[in-house]
Structure formats: structure tokens, C-alpha cells
Chains A and B, each alone.
Chain A
Amino acid sequence: MSLPDEPARLELYHVTVAYGGQLALQDVTLQVPHGAQVAVVGPNGAGKSTLFKVLVGLLPVQAGQIFIHGRPLGAHHDCVAYVPQREEVDWRFPVTVADVVMMGRYGRLGWLKRPKAYDRAIVMRSLEQLGIAELADRPIGELSGGQQRRTFLARALAQEPHILLMDEPFTGVDAATQETTMRLLEQLRDKCVTVLLSTHDLNLAATHFEQVILLNKRLIRYGSAEQVLTPETITETFGGQVFWLEIHGGGQRMATASHCCPPEPIDSTKRR
């Protein structure tokens, strides 16, 4: 998959977004080709979630333009699916797992239409792909955290999106859900679904994604993992929060970014 030949299907030009009176994204210009899987990497507050919310239409753009398949953002009603880091839904709402996944079909169905057998088949298939088919009739509130995450992934799958936005899907989930998510990414690659996945895990970005966006309010770098993940760009993105480990022999480098808080002080007697 060579970058210049592919027609760019998601295009951002000079996109600037303010959120809560502060600039969250500043003059971001990039073009993601159809079917690419891109890791969006940056520290907390770098604008990763903001970028996704803008693409979904949850936040307005202050300046700049966004095109999907060459048409302005909003012209398509269902081709962008979004799986937030934490779903802001009412967990006590009377809906079953299958009901939630069916909501993924609503965009395709359009107004006044009822789900058909075809839609139910897609819902069932999505549930099976995420290994939660046996939970179909359970109320969403009775599920474990990992099962709830999978339900919303299944919904995104049932939506049959062209672009899937996943906000930190590997944070705070059990190993089984992580593995299912990984497998899902492979299936989506075969289907040529464009995936943007935010993470603060540089290892994951380097090993599993052909392309990486380094973001810290501005676009630091976008390209293949080898091009993008260099000591200079990572330091620029994460500032001082980077530790370097040189692994001798293979010449590999590993970077660990501390993404939330400074290390626990060793002398913690004062707090007790």
C-alpha cells in the first residue's frame, strides 16, 4: 500500500478546533488513504479525542476543512463509526445487547424504516465476531466492562463504516477483549476499512500499525511507523515525559512515555 498512489479518502486541511476556550487542535493538515490503519499517538490532552469528536460531528471546527471521500464532513450519514474511550450511555436503560448493536444499522436504515432480516443477520454476525453472541438478549447493564466494550465494538462493526474511530480501545480492558480487538483490526484490514485508533502505547503503534500520526495539538508527523517514530519526533510530542531504552545487538529502540502522572515518590512516609 503505497501512500501517493492511493486516493486520499479522509482529508483534513488546516483544521483548528477550540474546546473549552482553549485550542485543542491547531492547523492540522493530513490525508489518510482508503483502508489505512493509523495509530494516533500523543500525550494526554494532545487532542486525540478532540480529533475523533470533530470527525464524528460532536465538536465544531473553528477553521479549516474536512473531506470524506471528497465530500465535506456531514454529507455522509453513516460512514464514520466512533467507539469512545468510555461510553456516555445510561447503563440502566432497558436495551439488550442485540438492541444496542442494531443501533449501528440505524444510519443505513434511515428514517421511518424498521430493521429487516438482513439487518438482524448482520447484528448476529457482528456479535459472533466479537464472541458475545450468547449475550444477545441480556440487558446491557448486566454485562461486565469488557463485555460492554465488545458490545459497542460489535455495533461499530454492524454499522459497516468506511472509517472507524477507536479511542483508546486497549486501555482498561481485560486481555480477552484486547485480543478480540486485535483480531477485529485484522478483519477490518481485509475489508479495507480505514481505522484511526488512538493510543499512548508507542510499542503497539510501532508493531501493529503501518502508519502513525504523532499529535500534540499540532500535527508533529504523519507517515509510516519507521519514519515517524524517531527519538526527535517522540521527544517533540511527549516533551520530557520520555524514557529511552537502548537494546543492544538488534539496535532496536524502545520508548516508554509516562502518560499521566510522575512516578510514585519512594519516600511516601509523609502521606501516611
Chain B
Amino acid sequence: MIIDWLITPLSYGFMQRGLIASMLVGILCAVVGCYIVLRSMAFLGDALAHGILPGVAVAYLLQINLTLGALAAGVAVALGIAFLSRQGTIKEDTAIGILFAASLSLGVLLISTIRTYAVDLTHILFGNVLGVSPADLWLMGGLVCVVLTTIILLYKEFLVISFDPVHAAALRLPANLLRHLMLVLLALTVVVSLQTVGVGLVAAMLVTPGATAYLLTRRLSEMMILAAALGAFSGIVGLYLSFYFNVASGAAVVLTATALFLLTFLLAPRKGLLWQRRRPHS
């Protein structure tokens, strides 16, 4: 029975927590990811994910909460990028490249001093959603609320600085402040996602549902809602696949999202490949 197939995993506490966690991450990454897709910041998302590695390593060495370490490092890297590219003397992607490589190296260097780290390192790189504790879940839930509330409250402002910076200037919006805030929100998102999909796969969760939703919608608000639904769906389906086929959960979630994207890329009305083949001049 399909009902049994769906219910069986729920009898395990770790699966319940895992499902909630991957759903939360799916929603959060997808919503924040809409801006990543629209502002061509995919590289930044990936860089921030790797940039939090030294924070995690330091937290591990000091025996404190890994998420807190990641949080500190993520915000530091985000603001560092903003600071270096502030005057326009260094382009933003150059600043990202420098800080990303530096903090990844620092992370690897710190981790190499720890002998018994192999297992935890895999978890950081690829996530360990089934190891989410109730305390982790509360912290994740809190951060998700903070980020999503900020995005909803500043919807107009983020929309106008993303779409038309000239008009944003005419409205006297503090463009730099908003840009830095967006970086910090992205850093928080990456940290929340750490335990579910890991450093290596966060970028995919940020970009893929947003890209899928972009092909199907014509307004930013609709794009965000659809992306959130796709992200949550991928999170849940991926975790079930991981449970039944005994494969890595983070990878299963990402590949589910990718499958949805490819399907949409082929079949989407108006923007899909087949549609454009049929009507080459539209």
C-alpha cells in the first residue's frame, strides 16, 4: 500500500525531524535562491557555503555548537565580500573568489589538525539530515522565520534594487545597506542548510528550484511561492528516496530538484525547449 510506504518512515523520530528539516531548508533556500537566480549570484552562494568551513572547524576545536561557528563565519565572509567590493575598486566576483578560496583553505588547514574528523567532515560536506537533533531543529526554525520575515517585509525594496538600481537611487533607498543585508540573509540560509544538504550541495538547493520556478511564472512573488513549493517537495521526496534506497539524503534531495528542473526546462509553456521548438519565433 502506498499509504504504508509513506507512513512507515514516520515511525522513526529521526525521520520525522529529517523531513521537517529538509522541508524547511527546501523552502528557505528556494525563496532566497530566487534573488540568487535573478541577480546571477550563483557563484556567491557556493562561495559562502565553502566560506563557513573555518567557522565549523573552529567550533569543533572549541567544542561549541557547530551551527553557531558556521553562523559567525558565514556572516564574516558575507560582510568581508561587501567590504572589499564596496568602493568598486575590486569587482564583487573577484572579492568573492579571494575570500572564498582563503576561508576554504583556512577551513581545510584547521581540519587537517584534527585526526578523528573524517566522519564529521563528510557530514559537513554532504549533510546529515538524519542526525538533526530537536535542538538543531529549533535553531533552524528560528533562523528560517527570521530570514523569511525579513524577505517578506522588505519585498518592495529588494525587488526595486534588484530590478532597477537607478530607480532605487531616485527613491533614495540605501542600496548598499540592502545589498549587505541580502548577503547576510544568504549567509544565514547557507548555515541553516548545512546539516541537510551540506556545504557542497547548498548552491544547488539555492539555484535549482528558483530556476525551475522562473520558467513557469511571470511575477517575482509567484516565482518565490512556486520555488518554495518545489523546494519543499524536493526535500520530502528526496528524503523518502534516501530512506528506501539507502542513498545519501542530501544528494537525493538535490537530484530530485534537478529532475523537476529538467522536466520543466523541456516542457514549460512559453519558455520550455519543446514549446520554443514548436513556435520558433515566439
Contacts and interface: CB of A to CB of B under 8 A. Distances in A.
B261 interface: no
Contacts of B156: 103, 106, 109
Interface stretch (B86-94, B133-141, B157-165): B157-165
Interface in B137-177: 153-154, 156-157, 159-160, 162-167, 169-172
A29 to B, nearest CB: 24
A77 B163 contact: no
Interface residues of A, number: 28
Nearest to B39: A90
Contacts of B163: 89-90, 93, 95, 100, 103
B88 to A, nearest CB: 13
A245 B160 CA distance: 48
Contacts, number: 74
A93 B162 contact: yes
Contacts of A96: 218-219
Nearest to A52: B170
A95 B171 contact: no
A99 B220 CA distance: 10
B171 A106 contact: yes
Given A93-B38, A106-B171, A84 B166 contact: yes
Contact of A56 (B38, B170, B222): B170
Contacts of A88: 164-166
B69 to A, nearest CB: 33
A159 B218 CA distance: 23
Contact of B170 (A81, A90, A93, A99): A81
B164 A103 contact: yes
Interface string B78-92: 000000000000000
Contact of B160 (A78, A106, A111, A139): A106
B257 interface: no
A112 B172 contact: no
B126 interface: no
A90 B38 contact: yes
Contacts of A77: 171-172
A111 B157 contact: yes
Interface in A75-106: 77-78, 80-82, 84, 87-90, 93-96, 99-100, 103, 106
- How many chain B residues sit at the interface, stated as a range, is 20 to 34
A7 interface: no
B218 A139 contact: yes
A145 interface: no
Interface string A7-46: 0000000000000000000000000000000000000000
A243 B274 CA distance: 56
Contact of A74 (B165, B172, B218, B219): B172
B167 A103 contact: yes
B233 interface: no
A82 B166 contact: yes
A155 B214 CA distance: 24
B214 to A, nearest CB: 7
Contact of A80 (B160, B162, B165, B170): B170
Contacts of B167: 82, 103, 155
Q: Which 4 A-B pairs have the closest CB atoms?
A: A56-B170, A107-B171, A139-B218, A89-B164
Interface of B: 38, 153-154, 156-157, 159-160, 162-167, 169-172, 214, 217-220, 222-223
6 contacts: A56-B169, A74-B172, A89-B163, A90-B162, A93-B163, A111-B157
Given A81-B170, A93-B163, A103-B159, 14 more contacts: A56-B169, A78-B172, A84-B166, A89-B164, A90-B38, A93-B38, A93-B220, A95-B220, A96-B218, A96-B219, A99-B220, A106-B157, A112-B153, A155-B167
Interface of A: 56-58, 74, 77-78, 80-82, 84, 87-90, 93-96, 99-100, 103, 106-107, 109, 111-112, 139, 155
